[in-house]
Amino acid sequence: IGRGASGEVRRADYMGKKVAVKTWRDLGSEEGKDLLKEIGMMSHAFRHKNVVDFYGIYEHDGLPWLVMELMPGGSLEQYYEAKKKSRRDGRWRPETRRAVSWVEDILSALAYLHAQKPPVIHRDIKPANMLLTEDGRTVKIGDFGVSRRCPHSLRNGAVGTYRYMAPEIFRGEGQYTAAVDVYSFSLVMWYIF
């Protein structure tokens, strides 16, 4: 599905289902450490219709492969870019009904994650991590590599994507709560509309 300098995501078959499997060649890199953290977070077996399903971990050639639900619709970011490119004027927005449905999906997932004991803070809510089903009707939150349990004490500087980052993370303030996801969600909602 995709390959970068240090990792890749592939399509695979798992018990009769099409799945995505993700790994990093260098587990000592920051991205590799994030994959291990994502495996740890996803192993809590979140079960929600708007959170990408986690199926397990597969070890191959000494590397862990995170096995998860395949989201064939790609990310909201990819979807928007493709729609814009298909237009002569480069502009596109979804129908209001569809946009509201996507917003409701994201809010439902965040409410579920924030209701966990202790709450889960995603910390990287952005269009690239909002994944679509094949028909493009449903959004699911993915990529839990920088997620943490709440409250979280910031020790290593800012995490996430600057454009969608809450001010308290950007400024490196001591502790923050799930409110950082709400801030990021508001920017994603602006992006959607």
Q: One of 34, 124, 143, 181 is an active-site residue; which one? A: 124
Per the DSSP assignment, residues forming a β-bridge with 58 are: 65
Under DSSP, is residue 46 helix (H, G, I), strand (E, B) or coil? Answer: coil
Specify whether 124 is catalytic.
yes
Whole-number Å distance between alpha carbons of 39 and 56: 8
Q: Read out DSSP for 69-127?
A: E--TT-BHHHHHHHHHHTSTTS-----HHHHHHHHHHHHHHHHHHHTSSSPEE-S--SG
Q: In the 8-state DSSP scheme, what is residue 164? A: G
Residue numbering of the annotated binding site: 22
Residue numbering of the annotated binding site for ATP: 22
Whole-number Å distance between alpha carbons of 99 and 86: 19
70 φ, ψ (degrees, to nearest 5): -80, 130
Residue positions annotated with a catalytic role: 124
